[in-house]
Structure 1
């Protein structure tokens, strides 16, 4: 057999005496935006920032700012993926009603702001992209005139075919009973038999809209009639964390919640009170929005174009040894990404860690995490882990029927740890 023929068979997943070999495909990750793209919001019917999980047929909206403010043309593409974010075999016309690869025509320049920016809005359906045909995993890519991807974001579309009940439990392992939360759930399918569920049903368990930290490898432990039961402990557990910290600068000209000082240079600078390590303190409850953010300007009629950008200055008092790690800001304000813009540096003169980042006016949640030398994130190093912490959990079941070519998202279940039980 020639080398070229062998390569051809390998692509088909068939080679020599191993006909069942399937070529491994790489999972697709989101492309982080450049520095001049800010405040990306992707949402469905409810305007709430994060990875949107919307019902099939509901609208999708994406907003973002370009602080270069030069009215650059941006375009969008929509791609469908398998459950594990590997490329799907579906053709575009099988999952998309209409066309993509279209320029975003709805944009406005900022008004009455010190920081100039162009605000872009894309709504689907529109006259070119009339809607999505199937449920499952999607990625929207924003790219420029040169065909280069500027950034991309994932979103999930589901069908209401199952009922998903979600429960939050304390860990049964005494070592983690005060620090971890386990997610247990049941999937009932009253109208459709889910054949061979241990093979064909996959589940996605998300904490606080952080898709990067989701659990994806659970299979049903047992079946009762048409109910699939998942009563895992360790396998479905998350670090409980602590409530997110917050600041609210909807009125940028005067100190508000958690802001101790204001300075006006080229644009406004807001200085937060110094935060402390909470891991060694008693847990204290206060409301948060689980890592998310809301854009708003108290003096504006339209906060999308009238909310200004502010340099937020953070300070953290931490005497814990980092062992080569780095302290970073963490939250949905940048899709839970840690990079150079989120890193805090040590101020030796004052004995604190400091950092600054550009935020659009509004209500923002954040916390501090330790990024270890190997790149792993320790979410409880600064904040601590407390089983009383209020966290939101979402469970999405997927089903690929025998002979089907794609993974349908067949439901959505939600639970909250404020109702945690033993």
Structure 2
């Protein structure tokens, strides 16, 4: 082998090794891909599933051309870097196959093709191990169209969680704190300070997750976390919502309906910034959404799309940052498609988004030009009374393991918050 060829091969293997260890980040879908969601038992859910459970990824392609899409699954570690175990160890079957379950919209003004990728499916009969996974949807050129995280867990430990008010008087009215403990009856934790990791989620938003918290102390095989500052979340406010299940009539928070374009328009009432107001309880679904057409029998392909017009009055807002509309309907994305525009003549922020009809929770977020979100100065404020859903996941890797298992999941709701 020549010296030149050897050097090229060496560089190739070094590059491949470095590339394989890059942190996997979610790729936002292009404009034509809408309503991407994980579905279990017919409902949109946070993508955290018990190992062996069945679930689906669903999405719409507004081009409606029955394009070919393929799927790729990558197992990742706690920090979302690909693990070095072969695919045959975590997939029974194959990935990189074409998604064959799709159908075209029926009786809708906006045409689209609706795709469903179930697990297990005819190609992938089983996901064999727990942990973090990145699901990539590819086009015919094997380019990534979009990607989504999901997590599989095992029931090998119990996680007891309590939501409490912070002990810091400077933000006691604005934050919520998680106290929790981890106990396993069939796993003896080895060096838990190094081998146990946790992930704390608020309303299924990976962007606000808290990581790298070590146990404060242990009692036998029980790990106890009673921090204050380290496990705090900004409480936020209840999600706003609109309902256009009957797309032709004004309903909850829809002030006017129009049809001066190819599809229906839903004009929402103007939202007022709520940071300076008192807390008011209104029921929400913690950022989730429901696709629904009350005049249809199959919501997946008979629910239509509408241009939804958002208006926000926030006169005290600083103009050096941007305002985005987010929720589970767009995976809390901060892409330009969801950034509001300031109307100087009216003194309000405006944006029109194409959203599938039904019931949709949303919120306004402030972010700087680099996408860093300002939670402290939220448009709608922070109130410790806000009802939020929390999930805690437990990762464990003992010395003989090749990957980090997710061995437990805990849930808590702040409606039961205590001092």
Q: TM-score, normalised by structure 2?
A: 0.94
- Equivalent position of 1:418 in the other structure: 415
CA distance in 1, matches of 2:356, 2:82: 35
* Pairing 1:170–2:165 present: yes
Summarize the alignment of residues 231-270 of structure 1 with structure 2, pairs less than 5 Å apart. Answer: 231-264=226-259, 265-270=261-266
**Which residue pairs with 1:289 in the alignment?**
285
Displacement of 1:46: 6.0
Structure 1: how far apart are the matches of 2:74 and 2:19?
21
DSSP 3-state at the match of 2:383: coil
Residue 346 of structure 1: how far off its partner (Å) = 1.4
The question of whether the paired residues in 1 share the 8 Å contact of 2:205 and 2:332 is answered with yes
Q: SS at 2:161's partner residue?
A: strand
- Alpha-carbon distance, 1:374 to partner: 4.1
**2:371 is paired with a residue of what secondary structure?**
coil
Q: Is the 8 A contact 2:310 2:350 kept in 1?
A: yes
How many angstroms apart in 2 are the aligned matches of 1:310 and 1:169?
40
Whole-Å Cα distance in 2 between the matches of residues 45 and 305 of structure 1? 17
Q: Residue in 2 aligned with 1:340? A: 336
Residue 45 of structure 1 contacts residue 54 of structure 1 at CA under 8 Å; is this kept in 2? no
Q: Give 1:61-72 correspondences, 5 Å limit.
A: 61-72=56-67
Q: Give the structure 1 partner of residue 381 of structure 2.
A: 384
Q: C-alpha displacement at 1:389, in angstroms?
A: 0.3
Aligned residue for 1:361? 357
Q: CA deviation at 1:48?
A: 2.0
Equivalent residue, structure 1, for 2:205: 210
In structure 1, distance between residues paired with 2:293 and 2:28 = 26
Contact conserved, 2:269 with 2:311, CA < 8 A, in 1?
yes
Q: CA deviation at 1:23?
A: 11
Matched, 1:103 2:103: no
Preserved contact between residue 49 and residue 294 of structure 1 (Cα < 8 Å): no
Alignment of 1:10-89 (within 5 A): 25-45=21-41, 47-50=43-46, 52-89=47-84
- Which residue pairs with 1:271 in the alignment? 267
Q: Distance in 2 between matches of 1:28 and 1:373?
A: 22
Q: Does 1:311 align with 2:307?
A: yes
Query: Is the CA contact 2:236–2:378 (under 8 Å) kept in the aligned structure 1?
Result: no
The alpha carbon displacement at 1:25 in A equals 4.0
- Determine if contact 1:44/1:58 at 8 Å carries over to the other structure: no
Contact 2:175/2:233 (CA < 8 Å) preserved in 1?
yes
Deviations 1:161-218 (A, max 9, x none): 0000111111111011000111111000111101000000000000000012111110
C-alpha distance in 2, partners of 1:23/1:304? 38
Following TM superposition, by how much is the alpha carbon of 1:353 offset from its aligned partner in structure 2, in angstroms? Answer: 1.0
Conserved 8 A contact 1:246-1:258: yes
Task: Report the RMSD for the aligned CA atoms in angstroms.
Answer: 2.0
2:324 to 321, 328, 340: 328
Q: SS of the counterpart of 2:211?
A: coil
Relative to structure 1, is the Cα distance of residues 280 and 236 closer, same or farther in structure 2, using a 3 angstrom cutoff? Answer: same
CA contact (8 A) 2:154 2:406 kept: yes
Unaligned runs of 5+ in 1: 13-21
Provide TM-score, normalisation by structure 1. Answer: 0.93
Provide the residue aligned with 1:16 in structure 2.
Answer: none
Shift of 1:39: 0.3
Verify: 1:134 aligned to 2:129, yes or no. yes
- 1:393 equivalent among 390, 393, 406: 390
C-alpha deviation, 1:77, in angstroms: 1.2
Structure 2 CA distance, aligned partners of 1:24 and 1:113? 43
Shift of 1:261: 0.2
C-alpha contact (below 8 Å) 2:179/2:226 kept by paired residues: yes
Deviations 1:345-396 (A, max 9, x none): 1112222111110000011001111112443112452110000000000000
Residue of structure 1 equivalent to 2:179: 184
User: Secondary structure of 2:171's match?
Assistant: coil
Residue 323 of structure 1: how far off its partner (Å):
4.1
> Which deviations, in whole Å up to 9, do the C-alpha atoms of 1:321-348 show, x marking residues without a partner?
4141111112111111112111111112
1:318, CA displacement in angstroms? 1.1
Q: How many residues get paired? A: 409
2:219, 2:52 → 1: CA distance?
A: 31
Query: What is the Cα deviation at residue 224 of structure 1?
Result: 0.8
CA shift in 2, pair 1:23/1:118, >3 Å: closer
- Tell me, in whole angstroms, the C-alpha distance in 2 between the residues paired with 1:23 and 1:64: 28
Equivalent pair of 1:43/1:61 in contact (CA under 8 Å): yes
Q: Check conservation: 1:107, 1:119, Cα contact below 8 A.
A: yes
